[in-house]
Structure 1
């Protein structure tokens, strides 16, 4: 936005020079305000020379610019709106109105101004790029990004956003092609190269991932780069290098289910079966959420509500395979006791509940009930 306004600022300064004799504007003073970024003072100074109802577009442009740069957004919007009414179809003015509305959170208005720009200039790259940023619908965002990218394929931000949009839709080849074009225009753009790695892996371009990744690692040891490289090395059957990379991630404490899985497979291929078994188990452990037991308890509760008691039992017991749970022990006790009428099983789970050290304060009612039921059921 600053680039758009630099020519206007220069025009404005020329204007003050021409009209200095009639308005007595001190050009040097105004320049000093600009140079020291005292935009609020500059706006106030300019306003002192013009009436509030002035129709002088050049003066209003300078005042609006200073208000915007000073963060006085409501005042700037009023000034730019006035300019737009006097001189419609001024693209820089419409851009600034879009920018101000965006900064104030009024995205609807910002999009309206951008759409006006597109109507005036169907080849305006910046308008399409900004419209994409303000659009929530994936299909619409994709169309705006495609148009912006067609107008400026070398723009790295647009190429990145478009590639990610394609990637989200699992359209990997178009995503790759967009990034490739932008990288050719800017071979040292490491952000684009890094973004391309997972897409290249998806397309089976493993050697390319390795070559690019090794180059990137010399600049910065990035975990995402190592992750993608590890997969590529696995698929080209360089299992030792795969293990080395994922061991580095493990040492950093940022391993995940995927890296552990590839380590298990790599150790298996290297015939180190002891390590393969260790990492296979770690993969399983990593894949299991700490909350899996609770999820199964929730599912079982739903089955209970539907009177599907056998399904509920199955879900509760499945939950226990991921760890002990007071909630499940207690609920199974109730289920066997009250719904399935199986006192022996009910006793088993009431006992398990009490043995699992339930919170004496928070669960005192459940504890008391379990003890009472154990007493009654034991008599039967």
Structure 2
């Protein structure tokens, strides 16, 4: 069911500022709106508009009625007529700021800027401008507006959250944390501040500080896949593998576990030497995986089978990973097991030879391994 929107509230607040006497009976119009009789309201307003075609109140009522009747063409027409009469009209600029919010942020900025000029002490307009500028990747400019919104109304969690989020983007964790901490003092269950606390702590490697807000979000059953992954990874990086598994299981039960959650649960089981459970989860990952991540799961399965001394299965998974994703390191791993564990030098040589032809070693360890293999098996 449609509700009377913020546009109508703004419109009603402007009635006393209209100089001309409105031909429309406000009580009649409000009754139409409250009963959601927008077509009847339009018929009535079009008739009354004939007595004063430039009356801002009537034009605003018409714009709102058409908007609520899902007739954007006519809604735009009447709100534009209001701007033609008064370019700083609050309800019309509010309408177009919202109308272009998603489809044309640059255009929405024009109307939002007018709202700021007309209401320089209203924090919500500065935050709206910040949101628009951030969306078009003008983060330095967005910061200026978020800063002003926060100065005007620091107790509004939306202002603090928007500014803290951008401060984290700028790696200014100290100031971001001060805003987040103050917000959580006011409301310890604020979802956005809990999310930001997790993000800030995770990015600086303070994994222990992720745990408490993370457990709260898990208990509340809210959060994004990124946030949940940061919680799980924090337990994993703290080597709290049983807790990592516990959290992954909870997320799974709540239907909030994605590919990465199953992956780190599998890695945790591997760390606890429970390879069979790890492999089952990795196979689940493979069923969910998109092409650019499936390689990790095949490689992890290979690692597990190698730890279990099931070398042929390990080679099969490394070989599959190479076949699908063409990473030469998979060839090296196959050769390494054949050479070092299965003592099959001839088979190892085939993998190593192909590895030498295709490899582009980047890390120091890989360069050392490459040079060793090249000297031993390479063709001069």
Taking structure 2 as the reference length, what is the TM-score of the superposition?
A: 0.59
Q: Which moved more, 1:30-39 or 1:163-172?
A: 163-172
Structure 1: stretches of 5+ with no match in the other structure: 268-273, 295-318, 329-347, 350-380
Work out whether residues 93 and 115 of structure 2, in 8 Å CA contact, stay in contact via their aligned partners in 1: yes
Aligned residue among 116, 119, 122 for 2:117: 119
> Residues 220-243 of structure 1: CA distance to partner in whole angstroms, max 9, x if unpaired?
387766654444455666554344
Instruction: Report the equivalent of 1:322.
Output: 321
User: What is the CA-CA distance between 1:45 and the residue it aligns to?
Assistant: 0.9
1:227-238 aligned at under 5 Å gives the runs: 227-233=229-235, 238=240
Within-5 A mapping of 1:261-276 = 261=267, 264-265=270-271, 267=272, 274-275=273-274
Instruction: Note the C-alpha offset of 1:72.
Output: 2.5
Partner of 1:186: 187
**Equivalent residue for 1:372?**
none
Note if contact 1:145-1:161 (Cα within 8 Å) is conserved in structure 2. yes
Q: In 2, Cα distance between the equivalents of 1:240 and 1:112?
A: 54
CA gap of 1:212–1:139, structure 2 versus 1, over 3 A, is same
Q: CA deviation at 1:111?
A: 1.4
Note closer, same or farther for the CA distance 1:186–1:39 as it changes in structure 2 (3 Å cut): farther
Classify 1:170/1:289 alpha carbon distance in 2 versus 1 (closer, same or farther; 3 Å).
Answer: farther
- 1:6 is matched with 9
Would you say 1:99 and 2:98 are equivalent positions?
yes
**Residue equivalent to 1:332:** none
Matched residue, 2:334: none
C-alpha separation in 2, matches of 1:292 and 1:108: 36
Aligned to 2:198: 197
Contact 2:154 2:160 in 1 (8 A): yes
Query: Does the CA-based 8 Å contact 1:149-1:159 persist in structure 2?
Result: yes
Q: CA deviation at 1:42?
A: 0.7
Task: Note if contact 1:243-1:263 (Cα within 8 Å) is conserved in structure 2.
Answer: yes
Q: Determine the C-alpha separation between the residues in 1 that align with 2:104 and 2:285.
A: 44
Report if the CA contact (8 A) 2:127-2:159 is conserved.
yes
Shift of 1:184: 2.9
Q: Deviations over 1:285-332 (max 9, x none)?
A: 9799856999xxxxxxxxxxxxxxxxxxxxxxxx9683347999xxxx
Say what the alpha-carbon RMSD is for the aligned residues: 4.6
Q: What TM-score do the two structures reach when normalised by structure 1? A: 0.59
C-alpha change, 1:52 and 1:180, in structure 2 (3 Å) is farther
Matched-pair contact (CA < 8 Å) for 2:7–2:64: no
Distance 1:237 1:90 in 2: 59
Runs (5+) with no aligned partner, structure 2: 296-317, 328-349, 352-380
Query: Do the aligned residues in 2 keep the contact of 1:231 with 1:262 (CA within 8 Å)?
Result: no
User: Is the CA contact (8 Å cut-off) linking 1:226 and 1:245 kept in structure 2?
Assistant: no
In the TM superposition, residue 201 of structure 1 has moved relative to its aligned partner by: 3.3
